[in-house]
Structure 1
Amino acid sequence: MDKLKVYLVTDSKILEGRDFYEAIEDSLKAGIKTIQLREKDFLGNEFLERAYNLRVLTRKYDALLIINDRVDIAMLVDADGVHVGQKDIPANEVRRLIGPDKILGVSAKNITQAKKAKEDGADYIGVGAMFTTSTKLDADSVSKDDLKKIMDEVDIPIICIGGITLENKGELDNFNVAGYAVVSAILGAENIYEESKKWMKA
Protein backbone atom coordinates (compact mmCIF):
# COMPACT_ATOMS: atom_id res chain seq x y z
CA MET A 1 0.00 0.00 0.00
CA ASP A 2 3.02 2.30 -0.42
CA LYS A 3 1.31 3.78 -3.46
CA LEU A 4 -1.36 5.33 -1.21
CA LYS A 5 1.03 7.73 0.58
CA VAL A 6 -0.06 10.65 -1.61
CA TYR A 7 -3.50 9.92 -3.03
CA LEU A 8 -4.68 12.47 -5.60
CA VAL A 9 -8.45 12.93 -6.03
CA THR A 10 -9.58 14.66 -9.22
CA ASP A 11 -11.84 17.70 -9.41
CA SER A 12 -11.90 19.45 -12.77
CA LYS A 13 -13.42 22.63 -11.37
CA ILE A 14 -10.27 23.37 -9.36
CA LEU A 15 -8.21 23.39 -12.57
CA GLU A 16 -10.16 26.45 -13.76
CA GLY A 17 -9.93 25.59 -17.43
CA ARG A 18 -6.44 24.07 -17.45
CA ASP A 19 -6.04 20.80 -19.35
CA PHE A 20 -7.24 17.91 -17.15
CA TYR A 21 -4.96 15.20 -18.53
CA GLU A 22 -1.91 17.44 -18.57
CA ALA A 23 -2.52 18.28 -14.90
CA ILE A 24 -2.88 14.63 -13.88
CA GLU A 25 0.15 13.60 -15.92
CA ASP A 26 2.22 16.32 -14.24
CA SER A 27 1.36 14.78 -10.86
CA LEU A 28 2.22 11.29 -12.12
CA LYS A 29 5.55 12.50 -13.52
CA ALA A 30 6.33 13.88 -10.07
CA GLY A 31 5.86 10.42 -8.55
CA ILE A 32 2.27 10.28 -7.31
CA LYS A 33 1.12 6.66 -7.54
CA THR A 34 -2.64 6.78 -6.87
CA ILE A 35 -5.30 8.71 -8.77
CA GLN A 36 -8.96 8.62 -7.78
CA LEU A 37 -11.36 9.75 -10.49
CA ARG A 38 -14.08 11.71 -8.68
CA GLU A 39 -16.13 14.05 -10.83
CA LYS A 40 -19.52 14.47 -9.17
CA ASP A 41 -21.05 16.60 -11.93
CA PHE A 42 -20.13 14.36 -14.87
CA LEU A 43 -22.69 12.28 -16.77
CA GLY A 44 -21.93 8.60 -17.32
CA ASN A 45 -20.50 8.87 -20.83
CA GLU A 46 -18.15 11.72 -19.94
CA PHE A 47 -17.05 9.97 -16.74
CA LEU A 48 -16.40 6.76 -18.70
CA GLU A 49 -14.27 8.60 -21.26
CA ARG A 50 -12.19 10.18 -18.48
CA ALA A 51 -11.80 6.77 -16.84
CA TYR A 52 -10.56 5.12 -20.04
CA ASN A 53 -8.04 7.91 -20.63
CA LEU A 54 -6.83 7.87 -17.02
CA ARG A 55 -6.44 4.08 -17.22
CA VAL A 56 -3.94 4.60 -20.05
CA LEU A 57 -2.09 7.35 -18.16
CA THR A 58 -1.90 5.50 -14.84
CA ARG A 59 -0.58 2.35 -16.52
CA LYS A 60 2.10 4.42 -18.24
CA TYR A 61 3.37 5.58 -14.83
CA ASP A 62 2.72 2.34 -12.92
CA ALA A 63 0.11 4.10 -10.79
CA LEU A 64 -3.20 2.93 -9.34
CA LEU A 65 -6.54 4.10 -10.74
CA ILE A 66 -9.38 4.15 -8.21
CA ILE A 67 -12.89 5.04 -9.36
CA ASN A 68 -15.18 6.92 -6.98
CA ASP A 69 -18.68 5.43 -6.56
CA ARG A 70 -19.10 4.03 -10.09
CA VAL A 71 -18.48 0.30 -9.80
CA ASP A 72 -19.76 -0.26 -13.34
CA ILE A 73 -17.21 2.14 -14.82
CA ALA A 74 -14.42 0.72 -12.69
CA MET A 75 -15.17 -2.72 -14.10
CA LEU A 76 -15.46 -1.48 -17.68
CA VAL A 77 -12.03 0.17 -17.67
CA ASP A 78 -10.36 -2.49 -15.48
CA ALA A 79 -9.50 0.05 -12.79
CA ASP A 80 -7.41 -1.08 -9.83
CA GLY A 81 -10.21 -0.38 -7.41
CA VAL A 82 -13.31 1.46 -6.25
CA HIS A 83 -13.93 3.94 -3.42
CA VAL A 84 -17.40 4.27 -1.91
CA GLY A 85 -18.97 6.47 0.73
CA GLN A 86 -21.54 5.65 3.39
CA LYS A 87 -24.45 6.55 1.09
CA ASP A 88 -23.22 4.63 -1.95
CA ILE A 89 -23.60 0.92 -2.78
CA PRO A 90 -22.79 -1.02 0.42
CA ALA A 91 -19.15 -2.04 0.60
CA ASN A 92 -19.89 -5.76 0.92
CA GLU A 93 -21.93 -5.62 -2.31
CA VAL A 94 -19.13 -3.74 -4.06
CA ARG A 95 -16.69 -6.43 -2.94
CA ARG A 96 -19.01 -9.08 -4.37
CA LEU A 97 -19.04 -7.27 -7.72
CA ILE A 98 -15.33 -6.46 -8.06
CA GLY A 99 -14.01 -9.72 -6.62
CA PRO A 100 -11.17 -10.32 -4.16
CA ASP A 101 -8.29 -8.92 -6.21
CA LYS A 102 -9.37 -5.32 -6.69
CA ILE A 103 -8.83 -2.56 -4.13
CA LEU A 104 -11.86 -1.44 -2.12
CA GLY A 105 -11.77 1.86 -0.23
CA VAL A 106 -14.54 3.05 2.06
CA SER A 107 -15.14 6.46 3.65
CA ALA A 108 -15.71 6.49 7.41
CA LYS A 109 -16.19 9.23 10.01
CA ASN A 110 -16.28 7.16 13.19
CA ILE A 111 -15.20 3.86 14.72
CA THR A 112 -18.51 2.12 13.99
CA GLN A 113 -18.33 2.91 10.28
CA ALA A 114 -14.64 2.00 10.15
CA LYS A 115 -15.16 -1.41 11.77
CA LYS A 116 -18.08 -2.13 9.43
CA ALA A 117 -15.95 -1.15 6.43
CA LYS A 118 -13.28 -3.65 7.44
CA GLU A 119 -15.88 -6.39 7.99
CA ASP A 120 -17.31 -5.65 4.54
CA GLY A 121 -13.95 -6.22 2.89
CA ALA A 122 -12.36 -2.76 2.66
CA ASP A 123 -8.63 -2.67 1.89
CA TYR A 124 -8.27 0.86 3.24
CA ILE A 125 -10.46 3.46 4.93
CA GLY A 126 -10.68 7.12 3.99
CA VAL A 127 -11.17 9.14 7.20
CA GLY A 128 -12.27 12.78 7.11
CA ALA A 129 -12.88 15.56 6.65
CA MET A 130 -9.90 16.30 8.90
CA PHE A 131 -10.00 20.04 8.13
CA THR A 132 -12.47 22.41 6.47
CA THR A 133 -12.65 21.65 2.76
CA SER A 134 -14.12 23.57 -0.15
CA THR A 135 -14.31 20.52 -2.43
CA LYS A 136 -16.94 18.68 -0.38
CA LEU A 137 -19.22 21.18 1.30
CA ASP A 138 -21.38 18.53 2.99
CA ALA A 139 -18.40 16.84 4.66
CA ASP A 140 -18.61 16.65 8.45
CA SER A 141 -15.33 17.06 10.27
CA VAL A 142 -13.66 14.20 12.11
CA SER A 143 -11.90 14.92 15.39
CA LYS A 144 -8.35 13.84 16.14
CA ASP A 145 -9.80 11.69 18.95
CA ASP A 146 -12.00 9.84 16.47
CA LEU A 147 -9.04 9.35 14.16
CA LYS A 148 -7.01 7.90 17.04
CA LYS A 149 -9.83 5.49 17.97
CA ILE A 150 -10.00 4.27 14.38
CA MET A 151 -6.21 3.90 14.18
CA ASP A 152 -6.15 1.97 17.47
CA GLU A 153 -8.95 -0.45 16.64
CA VAL A 154 -8.94 -0.99 12.88
CA ASP A 155 -5.87 -2.68 11.45
CA ILE A 156 -6.10 -1.77 7.77
CA PRO A 157 -4.51 1.28 6.12
CA ILE A 158 -6.05 4.66 6.97
CA ILE A 159 -5.99 7.52 4.48
CA CYS A 160 -6.80 11.00 5.82
CA ILE A 161 -8.78 13.35 3.61
CA GLY A 162 -10.37 16.78 3.78
CA GLY A 163 -8.66 20.13 3.56
CA ILE A 164 -5.16 18.70 4.07
CA THR A 165 -2.31 21.00 3.03
CA LEU A 166 1.46 20.94 3.39
CA GLU A 167 1.01 23.52 6.15
CA ASN A 168 -1.46 21.55 8.30
CA LYS A 169 -0.48 17.97 7.56
CA GLY A 170 2.05 18.08 10.42
CA GLU A 171 -0.92 17.95 12.81
CA LEU A 172 -1.63 14.43 11.52
CA ASP A 173 1.89 13.07 11.12
CA ASN A 174 2.02 11.63 14.66
CA PHE A 175 -0.90 9.32 13.86
CA ASN A 176 1.25 7.40 11.37
CA VAL A 177 -1.53 7.09 8.80
CA ALA A 178 -0.90 5.22 5.54
CA GLY A 179 -1.42 8.28 3.37
CA TYR A 180 -3.03 11.62 2.63
CA ALA A 181 -5.74 12.19 0.03
CA VAL A 182 -5.45 15.63 -1.53
CA VAL A 183 -7.45 17.58 -4.07
CA SER A 184 -7.06 21.36 -4.16
CA ALA A 185 -3.69 21.34 -2.35
CA ILE A 186 -2.21 19.92 -5.56
CA LEU A 187 -4.69 20.67 -8.36
CA GLY A 188 -5.10 24.27 -7.23
CA ALA A 189 -1.36 24.93 -7.39
CA GLU A 190 0.08 27.06 -10.16
CA ASN A 191 2.74 24.42 -10.88
CA ILE A 192 1.20 20.99 -10.30
CA TYR A 193 4.41 19.10 -11.03
CA GLU A 194 6.43 21.08 -8.46
CA GLU A 195 3.66 20.93 -5.86
CA SER A 196 3.36 17.16 -6.33
CA LYS A 197 7.13 16.87 -5.85
CA LYS A 198 6.82 18.75 -2.54
CA TRP A 199 4.11 16.35 -1.42
CA MET A 200 6.17 13.30 -2.35
CA LYS A 201 9.10 14.68 -0.39
CA ALA A 202 6.92 15.56 2.62
Structure 2
Amino acid sequence: MNVSEALKLYLVMGSTNCHVFDPEKTLAEAIEGGITLFQFREKGIEALKENDCLYLGQKLRQLCEKNKIPFIVNDDIELALELQADGVHIGQEDGDPFRTRKRIGENMWMGISTHSVEEAQQAVKDGADYIGVGPMFPTKTKEDAHQVVGPDLIKSIRRSGLEQFPIVGIGGITLDRAKIVYEAGANGVAVISAISGAESPKHAAAEFFSINSTQI
Protein backbone atom coordinates (compact mmCIF):
# COMPACT_ATOMS: atom_id res chain seq x y z
CA MET A 1 0.00 0.00 0.00
CA ASN A 2 1.44 3.39 -0.95
CA VAL A 3 1.08 6.51 1.18
CA SER A 4 -1.68 8.13 -0.88
CA GLU A 5 -3.85 5.00 -0.64
CA ALA A 6 -3.16 4.61 3.09
CA LEU A 7 -4.41 8.13 3.81
CA LYS A 8 -7.96 7.44 2.57
CA LEU A 9 -9.40 6.88 6.04
CA TYR A 10 -6.91 7.70 8.75
CA LEU A 11 -7.93 7.03 12.38
CA VAL A 12 -6.05 8.99 15.04
CA MET A 13 -6.65 7.70 18.56
CA GLY A 14 -5.38 7.10 22.07
CA SER A 15 -6.94 5.85 25.27
CA THR A 16 -8.31 9.30 26.16
CA ASN A 17 -10.42 9.34 22.98
CA CYS A 18 -12.21 6.06 23.74
CA HIS A 19 -15.34 6.75 25.78
CA VAL A 20 -17.57 3.92 24.56
CA PHE A 21 -15.22 0.94 24.25
CA ASP A 22 -11.64 0.25 25.28
CA PRO A 23 -8.94 1.17 22.71
CA GLU A 24 -8.43 -2.39 21.45
CA LYS A 25 -12.11 -2.97 20.73
CA THR A 26 -12.46 0.51 19.26
CA LEU A 27 -9.57 -0.06 16.87
CA ALA A 28 -10.69 -3.59 15.99
CA GLU A 29 -14.15 -2.29 15.06
CA ALA A 30 -12.72 0.63 13.10
CA ILE A 31 -10.53 -1.76 11.12
CA GLU A 32 -13.59 -3.88 10.33
CA GLY A 33 -15.32 -0.71 9.17
CA GLY A 34 -12.58 0.09 6.68
CA ILE A 35 -9.91 2.42 8.12
CA THR A 36 -6.75 2.38 6.00
CA LEU A 37 -4.21 3.90 8.43
CA PHE A 38 -3.91 4.23 12.21
CA GLN A 39 -2.04 6.77 14.32
CA PHE A 40 -1.43 6.06 18.01
CA ARG A 41 -1.76 9.43 19.70
CA GLU A 42 -1.58 9.14 23.49
CA LYS A 43 -1.96 12.75 24.61
CA GLY A 44 -3.70 14.68 27.38
CA ILE A 45 -3.79 14.95 31.16
CA GLU A 46 -5.18 11.43 31.62
CA ALA A 47 -2.95 9.82 28.97
CA LEU A 48 -1.08 6.63 29.79
CA LYS A 49 2.59 6.98 30.67
CA GLU A 50 5.73 4.92 30.13
CA ASN A 51 5.10 1.16 30.48
CA ASP A 52 1.31 1.49 30.34
CA CYS A 53 1.60 3.52 27.13
CA LEU A 54 4.08 1.04 25.68
CA TYR A 55 1.83 -1.92 26.56
CA LEU A 56 -1.21 -0.36 24.87
CA GLY A 57 0.92 0.62 21.89
CA GLN A 58 2.08 -2.98 21.52
CA LYS A 59 -1.49 -4.28 21.59
CA LEU A 60 -2.66 -1.78 18.99
CA ARG A 61 0.42 -2.37 16.85
CA GLN A 62 -0.25 -6.12 16.82
CA LEU A 63 -3.85 -5.51 15.81
CA CYS A 64 -2.74 -3.32 12.89
CA GLU A 65 -0.05 -5.76 11.81
CA LYS A 66 -2.51 -8.64 11.81
CA ASN A 67 -4.87 -6.67 9.57
CA LYS A 68 -2.17 -5.10 7.37
CA ILE A 69 -2.99 -1.55 8.49
CA PRO A 70 0.00 0.85 8.61
CA PHE A 71 0.73 1.95 12.20
CA ILE A 72 1.96 5.49 12.89
CA VAL A 73 3.06 6.99 16.23
CA ASN A 74 2.39 10.64 17.05
CA ASP A 75 5.44 12.73 18.05
CA ASP A 76 7.30 10.12 20.13
CA ILE A 77 10.19 8.88 17.99
CA GLU A 78 11.59 6.58 20.68
CA LEU A 79 8.19 4.93 21.12
CA ALA A 80 7.80 4.59 17.36
CA LEU A 81 11.16 2.82 17.14
CA GLU A 82 10.40 0.57 20.11
CA LEU A 83 7.06 -0.44 18.61
CA GLN A 84 8.63 -0.91 15.17
CA ALA A 85 6.01 1.43 13.79
CA ASP A 86 5.54 2.04 10.09
CA GLY A 87 6.01 5.75 10.62
CA VAL A 88 5.94 8.79 12.86
CA HIS A 89 3.89 11.99 12.66
CA ILE A 90 5.29 15.29 13.91
CA GLY A 91 3.84 18.77 14.31
CA GLN A 92 5.46 22.12 13.59
CA GLU A 93 6.62 22.38 17.21
CA ASP A 94 7.62 18.75 17.71
CA GLY A 95 11.19 18.76 16.50
CA ASP A 96 13.44 19.03 13.51
CA PRO A 97 12.29 16.92 10.52
CA PHE A 98 15.93 16.37 9.48
CA ARG A 99 16.80 14.87 12.86
CA THR A 100 13.57 12.88 12.87
CA ARG A 101 14.42 11.37 9.48
CA LYS A 102 17.93 10.58 10.67
CA ARG A 103 16.53 8.70 13.68
CA ILE A 104 13.81 6.76 11.88
CA GLY A 105 15.71 6.00 8.68
CA GLU A 106 14.45 5.97 5.11
CA ASN A 107 11.97 3.09 5.41
CA MET A 108 9.59 4.63 7.94
CA TRP A 109 7.01 7.18 6.84
CA MET A 110 7.25 10.71 8.21
CA GLY A 111 4.10 12.81 8.31
CA ILE A 112 4.20 16.52 9.15
CA SER A 113 1.32 18.75 10.29
CA THR A 114 0.99 21.96 8.26
CA HIS A 115 -1.21 25.02 8.56
CA SER A 116 -0.23 27.13 5.52
CA VAL A 117 1.02 26.83 1.96
CA GLU A 118 4.51 27.82 3.14
CA GLU A 119 4.59 25.12 5.82
CA ALA A 120 3.36 22.55 3.32
CA GLN A 121 6.10 23.39 0.83
CA GLN A 122 8.72 23.36 3.58
CA ALA A 123 7.52 19.97 4.83
CA VAL A 124 7.99 18.52 1.34
CA LYS A 125 11.52 19.97 1.19
CA ASP A 126 12.18 18.51 4.64
CA GLY A 127 11.40 15.01 3.40
CA ALA A 128 7.84 14.40 4.54
CA ASP A 129 6.10 11.39 3.00
CA TYR A 130 2.74 13.06 3.53
CA ILE A 131 1.35 16.19 5.14
CA GLY A 132 -1.59 16.69 7.47
CA VAL A 133 -3.44 19.93 6.73
CA GLY A 134 -5.71 21.55 9.28
CA PRO A 135 -7.63 22.21 11.31
CA MET A 136 -10.27 21.83 8.63
CA PHE A 137 -13.05 22.78 11.06
CA PRO A 138 -13.34 23.72 14.74
CA THR A 139 -12.29 20.85 17.03
CA LYS A 140 -12.29 20.16 20.75
CA THR A 141 -10.04 17.12 20.51
CA LYS A 142 -6.81 19.13 20.56
CA GLU A 143 -6.48 21.69 23.32
CA ASP A 144 -3.62 23.42 21.48
CA ALA A 145 -5.31 23.37 18.08
CA HIS A 146 -4.28 26.01 15.56
CA GLN A 147 -6.69 28.47 14.03
CA VAL A 148 -9.11 26.86 11.57
CA VAL A 149 -7.75 27.00 8.00
CA GLY A 150 -10.58 25.17 6.21
CA PRO A 151 -10.61 22.98 3.08
CA ASP A 152 -9.69 25.96 0.90
CA LEU A 153 -6.12 25.67 2.17
CA ILE A 154 -5.88 22.23 0.55
CA LYS A 155 -6.94 23.81 -2.76
CA SER A 156 -4.25 26.48 -2.35
CA ILE A 157 -1.58 23.87 -1.57
CA ARG A 158 -2.56 21.89 -4.66
CA ARG A 159 -2.35 25.04 -6.80
CA SER A 160 1.09 25.86 -5.36
CA GLY A 161 2.69 22.98 -7.23
CA LEU A 162 1.91 20.03 -4.96
CA GLU A 163 -0.72 18.52 -7.22
CA GLN A 164 0.19 14.90 -6.52
CA PHE A 165 1.72 15.07 -3.04
CA PRO A 166 -0.10 12.95 -0.40
CA ILE A 167 -2.36 15.16 1.74
CA VAL A 168 -4.72 14.26 4.57
CA GLY A 169 -7.19 16.77 6.02
CA ILE A 170 -7.62 16.80 9.80
CA GLY A 171 -9.57 18.62 12.46
CA GLY A 172 -13.27 18.58 13.25
CA ILE A 173 -14.14 16.30 10.34
CA THR A 174 -17.58 14.77 10.71
CA LEU A 175 -19.44 12.56 8.29
CA ASP A 176 -21.28 15.47 6.68
CA ARG A 177 -18.06 17.46 6.26
CA ALA A 178 -15.82 14.70 4.88
CA LYS A 179 -16.97 15.06 1.28
CA ILE A 180 -15.96 18.75 1.26
CA VAL A 181 -12.43 17.79 2.31
CA TYR A 182 -12.11 15.11 -0.39
CA GLU A 183 -13.47 17.50 -3.01
CA ALA A 184 -10.89 20.12 -1.98
CA GLY A 185 -8.18 17.72 -3.13
CA ALA A 186 -7.25 15.66 -0.07
CA ASN A 187 -6.24 12.04 -0.52
CA GLY A 188 -8.07 11.26 2.69
CA VAL A 189 -9.43 12.43 6.01
CA ALA A 190 -7.99 11.97 9.49
CA VAL A 191 -10.71 11.35 12.04
CA ILE A 192 -10.57 11.13 15.83
CA SER A 193 -13.79 11.45 17.82
CA ALA A 194 -16.22 10.81 14.95
CA ILE A 195 -15.02 7.18 14.97
CA SER A 196 -13.41 6.58 18.39
CA GLY A 197 -16.34 8.13 20.25
CA ALA A 198 -19.08 6.52 18.15
CA GLU A 199 -21.58 4.01 19.54
CA SER A 200 -20.40 1.73 16.74
CA PRO A 201 -16.87 2.55 15.52
CA LYS A 202 -17.31 -0.10 12.83
CA HIS A 203 -20.46 1.54 11.45
CA ALA A 204 -18.95 5.04 11.69
CA ALA A 205 -15.80 3.96 9.84
CA ALA A 206 -17.87 2.21 7.17
CA GLU A 207 -19.88 5.38 6.55
CA PHE A 208 -16.71 7.45 6.14
CA PHE A 209 -15.25 4.78 3.86
CA SER A 210 -18.35 4.82 1.65
CA ILE A 211 -18.05 8.59 1.19
CA ASN A 212 -14.41 8.17 0.18
CA SER A 213 -15.29 5.44 -2.30
CA THR A 214 -17.64 7.78 -4.16
CA GLN A 215 -14.78 10.27 -4.61
CA ILE A 216 -12.42 7.82 -6.31
Deviations 1:56-93 (A, max 9, x none): 10011000100000111111111000000011121111
Cα separation, partners in 2 of 1:43 and 1:3, compared to 1, 3 Å: same
Distance 1:36 1:141 in 2: 21
Alignment partner, residue 159 of structure 2? 152
* 1:188 maps onto 2:197 in alignment: yes
Between stretches 56-65 and 149-158, larger displacement belongs to 149-158
* Long gaps (5+) in structure 1: none
Matches within 5 A, 1:12-31: 12-16=15-19, 18-31=21-34
Between stretches 147-156 and 117-126, larger displacement belongs to 147-156
* 1:142 maps onto 2:149 in alignment: yes
What amino acid is aligned across from residue 19 of structure 1 in structure 2? Answer: D
Distance 1:89 1:167 in 2: 34
Alignment partner, residue 174 of structure 1? 183
SS of structure 1 residue aligned to 2:175 = coil
**How much identity, in percent, do the aligned residues show?**
37
Cα separation, partners in 2 of 1:193 and 1:90, compared to 1, 3 Å: same
Q: Contact 1:5 / 1:178 at 8 angstroms: preserved in 2?
A: yes
TM-score by length of 2: 0.88
Q: Contact 1:11 / 1:183 at 8 angstroms: preserved in 2?
A: no
Moved over 6 A (4+): none
Pick one of 151, 154, 171 that aligns with 1:162.
171
TM-score by length of 1: 0.94
Instruction: Output the aligned Cα RMSD.
Output: 1.4
* Long gaps (5+) in structure 2: 212-216
Aligned-pair CA distance for 1:18? 2.2
